[in-house]
């Protein structure tokens, strides 16, 4: 008998830099759904519940119908995976039972075997932010994302982001990235 072959399993390694911000992107399992904005109150409650268990600050956030971008600063840098897991779990539990059953019926046998709900993509994407320039750039990306996805024409028009907070504190002009007034001279 020859050597046993191991499956090629991904080797995820997280970077933990004390006192840093982490940029997170979380996707729904089926990106055609609009659960996050349809059930925005549930998502907000999941964030609040999680903050009570594993404290973290939100630097910037934009919630799209089927994914969200978040720049967070956890009190314990090693806890950001747990934070995302708790948010996902709390949001899922808050959805109507019939919707959860429907989503469960749409997933693969391997996801069912791993007790996945059918709501969320299995993993999330993260990047540790190491400089102020990087933080500024990613904050801009987060706030421009609803415009990029064609949900609104101006960042100020998207109600599910922290953009207005940044305007209120003087970090952005209200018309930041508003190209609607530019005439096409083509």
Catalytic residues: 160
3-state secondary structure of 158: coil
**Structure tokens belonging to residue 144:** 């421009």
Distance CA(119)–CA(28), nearest Å, equals: 6
3-state secondary structure of 30: coil
Distance CA(100)–CA(104), nearest Å, equals: 6
Distance CA(162)–CA(178), nearest Å, equals: 17
- φ, ψ for residue 160 (rounded to 5)? -105, 45
Which H or E run includes 150? none
């Amino acid at each position: 008998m020859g050597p046993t072959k191991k499956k090629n399993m991904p080797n995820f390694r997280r970077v933990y830099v004390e006192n840093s911000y982490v940029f997170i992107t979380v996707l729904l399992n089926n990106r055609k759904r609009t659960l996050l904005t349809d059930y925005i109150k549930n998502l907000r409650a999941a964030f609040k519940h999680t903050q009570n268990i594993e404290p973290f600050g939100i630097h910037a956030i934009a919630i799209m119908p089927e994914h969200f971008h978040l720049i967070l600063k956890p009190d314990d840098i090693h806890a950001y995976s747990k934070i995302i897991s708790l948010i996902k779990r709390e949001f899922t539990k808050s959805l109507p039972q019939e919707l959860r059953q429907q989503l469960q019926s749409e997933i693969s046998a391997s996801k069912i075997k791993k007790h996945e709900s059918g709501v969320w993509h299995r993993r999330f994407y993260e990047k540790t932010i190491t400089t102020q320039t990087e933080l500024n750039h990613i904050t801009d990306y987060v706030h421009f994302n609803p415009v990029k996805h064609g949900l609104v024409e101006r960042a100020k028009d998207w109600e599910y982001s922290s953009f207005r907070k940044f305007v209120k504190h003087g970090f952005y002009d209200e018309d930041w990235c508003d190209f609607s007034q530019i005439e096409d001279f083509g």
